[in-house]
Amino acid sequence: MRSRFDPVAAHPVCRTVAPAGILAALCFFPVAVWAARIGDVGEASSISEQAVRFFTFADPALRCALLGALLLGLNCGLLGSFIVVRRMALVGDTLSHAVLPGIALGFLWASSKDPVAILVGATLVGMAGVLVSHAIERTTRLKQDSALGIVLASFYAIGICLVDHIQRSSAGKMSGIKSFLFGQASALSEADVLLMAVISAVSLLVITLLRGSLVTACFDSAFAHAIGLPVRALERLLLLLTAVAVVVAMQAAGVVLVSALLVIPASTAYLLADRMPRMLVIAALVGMLSAASGAFFSFLGNHLPTGPLIVLSAACFFVVAFLFAPRHGWLSGVFMRRSRWRRTRRENTLKTFYKVLEDRQFDGEDIALLTVAQIRKESVDEVVRRVRDLVAHGMVTLGDEGETAYFTPEGLREAARIVRNHRLWELYLTTVADYPADHVHEDAEEIEHVLGADMVRQLERRLSFPTEDPHGKPIPVVPEPVVGAAGFGIAGETTEHRDRFRL
Amino acid sequence: MESATAQGSPPPALELHDLSVAYHRRPVVYGVDVAVPEGKLVGIVGPNGAGKSTLVKAALGIVPLGSGWVEFFGRPYAEVKKRVAYVPQRESVDWDFPVSAMDVVMMGRYGHLGLVRRPRAADREIASAALEKVNMLPFANRQISNLSGGQQQRVFLARALAQQGDVYLMDEPFAGVDAATEASIIELLKELRDAGKTIFVVHHDLTTAEDYFDQLILLNMRLVAYGETRDVFTPELLQKTYGGRLTILNRVAEQAERMRVSGPGVNYDDKRHR
């Protein structure tokens, strides 16, 4: 750990690779105890040669690393999904730190790197850690975060001491324990991969068989308990499977980063899926893809540790999902807000047009853009831009000079509808909700844009089809659409569209 | 009915005998004795913190009993689980959970299916019928966070219907529900009652309690009264229910909590339960 970023000891091949600045820093990692790394067999030097070797699965160490990575990605994705939907990400983190003493004990017990001994020791200690935190939570006034924090740090500290002790007392014989700290997929032996395969198969089987019960227990544990599902046992089972998944993933990802494998692929899937089965599939796929690409880049870089690369790949998938997820993504939110804002802007301009006509008792149909600009306190250029938008939507047409505008029948209907909504709402607030008349305008400015056809009908009924608003202005009647006229939407259609963006 | 009387009266749909519950050794419900016959629509009424939800959860074995026992149809709950349906409080679950309305209703079938068996076509039909009953079938495939509060409540109700029980325990099914939905839900509950089911509803709106329920359980940590609505919905009893806790009872409860020694007692935290 002490010489992690020591440039003097940098491997010559690494300097030539440097695919990305930060990643490259990680290759200055000259820990001698590391066993064979991917790519140690045959000193290939160019990236393309390395890539060819990767995809032809030429050497056995690579096959083990890749297969192991895929299995751990699958396993962590599946179990991480349950962690994420149960809001237990911190439990995963605690688990991953708490297993370290168990790994060390497994080493001491078998006095070599025996996968089964390590698995048993680590799983038992990891689960004990989580149960201790439960006990702290139950018997003291501490809440979950503190309880987990206490367990995480103290178990990890014990683990570090034990690992240090093992390294001091029996250097060489105990090689491989370091890979648990930082993660190196190439340290996976065939026995490790076989164990991973068995474990992944068990998790997959359990989750497939118990899917319905597990989801029920996770969603509503009180209900699950009431209908007779063994909630406690299911929770323990998930904890056990997760502990096992963490232990087997640890060799490739390292103690600190392994919990990211539980959380990141599953969170990515959470943004993309609205149903649990799909979330499980996506999480498993993202987990596998991240693990495989982590292994690939580690191989390309010759000595790059796999753990950080797997986590970075997973983080990339997450960023993509965060930005582009169809419903929960950032971009779709931006688009939705934008289109809603544009619509509101169009409706406000139409309203001003209506006001211009109303102010002169609907004498003549031309609307001077200059007047509109004065009422809206905007520049004429701004108004022209807005009018162009309205023209594009078939709401108004422009006069020959481009200085006046005229409503299309649809535009007039839309304008009347907005003004009607506004005045109905003002009237509702003053008569039914007892607002003073001078308090209601601002509120109606907002509400007019979101009232659906349904709500308007209810308001009309409640106010017994009024004709005047609280300020004495007439509440316009929305003109009937011309039947059969092409290009004219029906009023219901626009409101239905609006309902989808209900606030 | 005749034959039942001939063999002696049928066992009550729900009998609570000297039921007490404590959270963190602090007593929440004291010595409740109630025996409710079949075919009644019963309101459980009382102020905040009166232990209404706790009573329901204790009856279902979700929280451990301090003392006393519970029987449904003369038998312990474990033996008749399939005959009992439950509607938890709406806030008790995470509505962002990746499940659809149909998935939630299908959970009502797992009491019958057990751990491993998958839902069959028959189960799906029962779930669809339950959704239809609460007018939520058109929303069957919606993820539950995209439903309004009233719709979510109706999904919970549909899940209980899918359990096809004979006793229904409902924790505030009218919370966050608009007036029209409330009316249709109470209509549905009366329909169930007329079909011979027994329904318990935790309710806190006194203005409607008298119209809705055949019988009332007035609760404020202890049982204030149980009986036909017309008999117990009286100013005196309501005053007794809502007129503050019994001072000594409350003080002893607090003292019990202070005296609590470390180590796991009854360790169930109501508010944290999801």
* A474-502: pLDDT as tens digits: 888 887 765 544 433 333 334 333 333 33
CB contact under 8 Å between B86 and A223, yes or no, is yes
Scanning every residue of chain B, which has its alpha carbon at the shortest distance from the alpha carbon of A232?
B62
List helix spans (H) across A360-452.
369-376, 380-392, 409-431, 441-447
A62 pLDDT more than 50: yes
Q: Are B171 and B89 in contact (CB under 8 A)?
A: yes
pLDDT at B263: 37
Between residues A49 and B267, which one has the greater pLDDT?
A: A49
Q: What strands, in cross-sheet order, belong to the sheet with A404-407?
A: A367-368, A404-407, A396-398
CB contact under 8 Å between B98 and A270, yes or no, is yes
CB contact under 8 Å between B107 and A212, yes or no, is yes
A1 pLDDT more than 50: no
CB-CB neighbors (< 8 A) of A461 in chain B: none
Scanning every residue of chain B, which has its alpha carbon at the shortest distance from the alpha carbon of A328?
B96
- C-alpha–C-alpha distance, residues A488 and A346, integer Å: 17
Q: What 3-state class would DSSP assign to B77?
A: helix
Between residues A92 and B126, which one has the greater pLDDT?
A: B126
Q: What is the mean pLDDT of residues A395-421?
A: 88
DSSP string, A108-139: HHHTS--HHHHHHHHHHHHHHHHHHHHHHHHH
Q: What strands, in cross-sheet order, belong to the sheet with B26-36?
A: B67-72, B14-23, B26-36, B222-228, B215-220, B41-45, B198-203, B167-171, B84-87
Q: Which of A140, A222, A229 sits opposite B88 (nearest CB)?
A: A222
Joined tokens for residue B231? 């008999």
Scanning every residue of chain B, which has its alpha carbon at the shortest distance from the alpha carbon of A272?
B98
pLDDT at B270: 40
Position A8 confidence tier, pLDDT thresholds 50, 70, 90: very low
A219 pLDDT more than 60: yes
Sole residue written with tokens 């935290």: B269
Q: Residue B242 is which amino acid?
A: Y
- C-alpha–C-alpha distance, residues B101 and B119, integer Å: 15
pLDDT at B8: 65
C-alpha neighbours within 13 Å on the C-beta side of residue B114: 2
Backbone angles phi, psi at A16, to 5 degrees: -80, -25
pLDDT at B267: 39
| Those residues with Cβ within 8 angstroms of residue A182's Cβ, 6 or more apart along the chain or in another chain | A29, A254, A305, A307
User: Cβ–Cβ contacts within 10 Å for residue B196, how many?
Assistant: 10
Mean pLDDT of all residues in chain A? 81
Q: Range with the lowest mean pLDDT among A88-102, A452-466, B184-198? A: A452-466
A41 pLDDT more than 70: no
| A-B contacts (CB, under 8 Å) | 95
| Those residues with Cβ within 8 angstroms of residue B271's Cβ, 6 or more apart along the chain or in another chain | none
Scanning every residue of chain A, which has its alpha carbon at the shortest distance from the alpha carbon of B142?
A274
CA-to-CA separations, A440 to A306, A454, A468, A474, B137, in angstroms, rounded:
62, 21, 15, 16, 39
**Looking only at Cα atoms, what is the longest distance across chain B?**
57
Q: What are the residues of chain B with a beta carbon less than 8 Å away from any beta carbon of chain A?
A: 57, 60-62, 78, 81-82, 84, 86, 88, 92-94, 97-100, 103-104, 106-108, 110-111, 113, 115-116, 118-119, 143, 159, 163, 262-264, 267, 273-274
CB-CB neighbors (< 8 A) of B159 in chain A: 223
- C-alpha–C-alpha distance, residues A325 and A319, integer Å: 10
User: Cβ–Cβ contacts within 10 Å for residue A466, how many?
Assistant: 17
A2 pLDDT more than 80: no
Q: Determine how β-strand A367-368 pairs with β-strand B26-36.
A: unpaired
Between residues A200 and A170, which one has the greater pLDDT?
A: A200
CB-CB neighbors (< 8 A) of A224 in chain B: 107, 110
Q: What percent of chain A has pLDDT over 70?
A: 84
Scanning every residue of chain A, which has its alpha carbon at the shortest distance from the alpha carbon of B171?
A223
Joined tokens for residue A132? 């201790």
Q: What are the residues of chain A with a beta carbon less than 8 Å away from any beta carbon of chain B?
A: 85, 87, 135, 138-140, 209-210, 212-213, 215-216, 218-230, 270, 273-276, 278-279
Q: Give B23 to chain A, closest Cα distance, Å.
A: 11
> To the nearest 5 percent, what fractions of chain A are helix, strand and coil?
70, 0, 25
Joined tokens for residue A136? 């702290």
Joined tokens for residue B109? 């079938």
| Those residues with Cβ within 8 angstroms of residue A394's Cβ, 6 or more apart along the chain or in another chain | A408, A410, A411, A487
CB-CB neighbors (< 8 A) of B100 in chain A: 274-275
Sole residue written with tokens 């001077």: A368
Look at residues B238, B227, B172, B241 and name the one whose alpha carbon lies nearest to residue B202: B172
CB contact under 8 Å between A276 and B113, yes or no, is no
CB contact under 8 Å between B163 and A273, yes or no, is no
Look at residues B200, B175, B269 and name the one whose alpha carbon lies nearest to residue B42: B200
pLDDT tens sequence for chain B (274 residues): 444 444 567 889 999 999 999 877 777 898 899 999 999 999 999 988 888 999 999 999 999 998 899 999 999 999 999 999 999 999 999 999 999 999 999 999 999 988 888 899 999 999 999 999 999 999 999 999 999 999 999 999 999 999 999 999 999 999 888 888 899 999 999 999 999 999 999 998 888 998 999 999 999 888 999 999 999 998 888 888 887 655 566 666 666 666 654 333 343 344 333 3
pLDDT at B245: 55
Q: What is the mean pLDDT of residues A335-350?
A: 91
Position A170 confidence tier, pLDDT thresholds 50, 70, 90: low
Q: Are B210 and B229 in contact (CB under 8 A)?
A: yes
CB contact under 8 Å between B110 and A227, yes or no, is yes
Backbone angles phi, psi at B66, to 5 degrees: -80, -45
ipTM entry:
0.87
* Kind plus residue range of the DSSP H or E element containing A12: helix A12-17
CB contact under 8 Å between B263 and A139, yes or no, is yes
Backbone angles phi, psi at B86, to 5 degrees: -135, 135
DSSP B181: H
CB contact under 8 Å between A275 and B103, yes or no, is yes
pLDDT at A98: 92
CB-CB neighbors (< 8 A) of A135 in chain B: 264
User: A492 exposed, middle or buried (CB, 10 Å; 0-12, 13-18, 19+)?
Assistant: exposed
Q: Report the Cα B13 to chain-centroid distance in Å.
A: 13
CB-CB neighbors (< 8 A) of A231 in chain B: none
